[in-house]
Structure 1
Amino acid sequence: MKISLAQMAVKTLEVEANLEKGARLIEEAAKEGSDLVVMPELWTTGFNMPGNVKIAQEHEQAHLQIAQLAKKHNIWITGSVLALNTEEKPSNAALLFSPDGEIVSSYRKMHLFSLVNEGDYLSPGNEIIQFDAPWGKTGFTICYDLRFPELFRNLAVNGSELIICPAGFPNPRKEHWRTLLRARAIENQCFIAATNRAGSEHLGKGQTMEFFGASSIIDPWGKTLAEADDSECLISRELDLTEASKIRNQMKVFEDRRPELY
């Protein structure tokens, strides 16, 4: 399968402008022959949490527009966006849109980032999600989830050969990002595809987040197959997900575990 990571700067609460920019990157991925394109975290709205809560009720329209893009370009699309819940607060959700224009999988971010009080505005997910895609079993995570290896291990032992991670990792945590991505790939013997943001975002009260990009595709040995710079760009690679099972059969980490002791 061929995968593309669409690294972009996001304009705060400017949904239409973000969709237009995303549409250009999605079209570019389709022209390259990619099966799947991965957008960043909250790529339609940005991180203005009070503002996101206010527009969440209207955000279903954005989902429809993304679905139309998937159908128009005959491509799978994922990345995190706002999604409504039965609860009062919306969720930060990685939705998977099929080339038929359908939402076939939805993972709601389960680890909310307390450093910026995400839990005040968002509802956490309570379910681990993976999907049997045409290219292989695929697991979903979002940004801060990278710091919780238990989630990745659960996905891997249940068969995920590729784990997706749309993110909004800012400076000064670039080396954390690189190290965590490689660690998650090595310890779980799987591919990791993580799309980060570019640019910056003003959060008010003198706060600005600067994003370093570095969207990355990592193989099951921990080799970085592709890494973006800090600009808006698209990076793509051909992946053979059977490599994950070959490595797992060669180095039997999962069989050698002793979970009954820990």
Structure 2
Amino acid sequence: MMAPTYKIAVIQLHPEPMQIESNYCKAARFIKDAAAKGAQLAVLPEYHLTNWIPNHPQASDIFSQWEIYLNKYRALAKEQSICIVPGTIVERHEDPATKEQQLLNATYFIDNKGEILGRYQKKNLWHPERPYLTSSTHEPHEVIETPLGPVGLLICWDLAFPEAFRELILAGAKIIIIPTFWALSDCSPYGLAVNPRSEALFLESTIAARTFENTCAVVFVNAGGRVGSSKLNYAGLSRVAVPFLGALGDETKDSCEEGMSVVDLDMRHVEEAEANYKVRADLAREDWHYVYPRGEKTGRTKL
């Protein structure tokens, strides 16, 4: 069988702080445009509904509305007959054990009938998020069977951890989708002095490396536009990337501004990369030689 080609819309947005309804309406307009262009999947950035200001006086009330907007995306997916990964939605829940309120940063895969096929809660939290968000810690990375084949979901800083990718491709993922909220100012003063585009270099290099080393496609969708009063932008650089070619399309992959790119993802690139590099075949071997030390208490565990 020939490898399928999927039409994917990456939607790079600038989220206005805590303006959840207007941010949703803007995202919905892009999604409708993507569906009109024949896209089978639309992907939005992390925190696209609210931005990330956890100390904002309205944050608690707004984060409590998460299910309303998840259901809006489900209805929109069904109406437009398009699969949607609605960036991330911050969810406010009561911890069943402690009865304390906690915030979860989660993403979903919604199919073109409005059904939720899978959910992922952010595992690797960026340092400023840790006082506020609850990580999924030891929950496994799970592959989702979708109309676009087996998909894995990650979020933002997960990109820096190759272990997350390895777990997903060992379970069969061919496409890994990463909603992101990454700014050029996330770099340290030292790094910015050395290279003001350091974070862009990080993203461009790492995304390309992940496609090759895991023989998979990566759908990376970031925020765009100015970071508050900062002189630096969100890093943007949203892209669909594949082995052999790197980033596909030309509308958002080199941009820090809002916009949408609809690209054709030919899965033959993924299949041919595996035929050439045999990464998955090696990982599946019973005598595979890499193990990860977990300390004296838990011993050594295979990846």
TM-score scaled by structure 2? 0.79
Counterpart of 2:264 in structure 1 is 238
Counterpart of 1:255 in structure 2 is 281
Contact 2:13 2:224 in 1 (8 A): yes
Query: Taking structure 1 as reference, are residues 208 and 24 closer, same or farther at Cα in structure 2, changes over 3 Å only?
Result: same
Determine helix, strand or coil for the equivalent of 2:119: strand
5 Å-filtered alignment, 1:111-122, equals: 111-114=124-127, 116=128, 118-122=129-133
Verify: 1:168 aligned to 2:176, yes or no.
no
Gaps spanning 5+ residues in structure 1: where? none
Indicate the RMSD between aligned Cα atoms, in angstroms. 1.9
2:223 corresponds, among 178, 191, 197, to 197
Q: Deviations over 1:161-198 (max 9, x none)?
A: 11000101101411111111111111101111100111
Verify: 1:210 aligned to 2:210, yes or no.
no
Deviates more, 1:220-229 or 1:25-34: 220-229
Query: Taking structure 1 as reference, are residues 94 and 259 closer, same or farther at Cα in structure 2, changes over 3 Å only?
Result: farther
Deviates more, 1:249-258 or 1:102-111: 249-258
CA distance in 1, matches of 2:91, 2:140: 15
Contact 1:165 1:195 in 2 (8 A): yes
Q: Deviations over 1:106-153 (max 9, x none)?
A: 100001111x1x121111123313211122111110100010010011
Query: Whose radius of gyration is greater, 1 or 2?
Result: 2
Counterpart of 1:132 in structure 2 is 145
Counterpart of 1:55 in structure 2 is 62
CA distance in 1, matches of 2:104, 2:26: 23
Determine helix, strand or coil for the equivalent of 1:210: coil
Contact 1:228 1:235 in 2 (8 A): no
TM-score scaled by structure 1? 0.91
Contact 1:3 1:239 in 2 (8 A): yes
Contact 1:53 1:121 in 2 (8 A): no
Determine helix, strand or coil for the equivalent of 1:9: coil
2:168 corresponds, among 155, 167, 192, to 155
Deviates more, 1:142-151 or 1:247-256: 247-256
Q: Deviations over 1:204-250 (max 9, x none)?
A: xx878731311011112352213241221111111132432332123
Verify: 1:223 aligned to 2:246, yes or no.
yes
CA distance in 2, matches of 1:177, 1:30: 28
Counterpart of 1:66 in structure 2 is 73
Q: Deviations over 1:30-51 (max 9, x none)?
A: 0110010000001111111234
Amino acid at match of 2:28: A
Counterpart of 1:38 in structure 2 is 43
Amino acid at match of 1:121: Y
Gaps spanning 5+ residues in structure 2: where? 1-5, 96-100, 186-198, 293-303
Contact 1:170 1:212 in 2 (8 A): yes
Counterpart of 1:80 in structure 2 is 88
Task: Report sequence identity in percent.
Answer: 28
Contact 1:198 1:232 in 2 (8 A): yes
Determine helix, strand or coil for the equivalent of 2:181: coil
CA distance in 2, matches of 1:91, 1:156: 25
Deviates more, 1:118-127 or 1:3-12: 118-127
Amino acid at match of 1:47: W
Determine helix, strand or coil for the equivalent of 2:219: strand
Query: Taking structure 1 as reference, are residues 127 and 13 closer, same or farther at Cα in structure 2, changes over 3 Å only?
Result: farther
Please report how far the alpha carbon of residue 254 of structure 1 lies from its aligned counterpart in structure 2 after TM superposition: 3.0
Contact 2:104 2:135 in 1 (8 A): yes
CA distance in 2, matches of 1:209, 1:124: 28
CA distance in 1, matches of 2:256, 2:231: 16
Contact 1:214 1:230 in 2 (8 A): yes
Amino acid at match of 2:17: T
Query: Taking structure 1 as reference, are residues 130 and 228 closer, same or farther at Cα in structure 2, changes over 3 Å only?
Result: farther
Counterpart of 1:23 in structure 2 is 28
CA distance in 2, matches of 1:259, 1:113: 31
CA distance in 2, matches of 1:242, 1:143: 26
Query: Taking structure 1 as reference, are residues 59 and 260 closer, same or farther at Cα in structure 2, changes over 3 Å only?
Result: closer
Determine helix, strand or coil for the equivalent of 2:248: strand
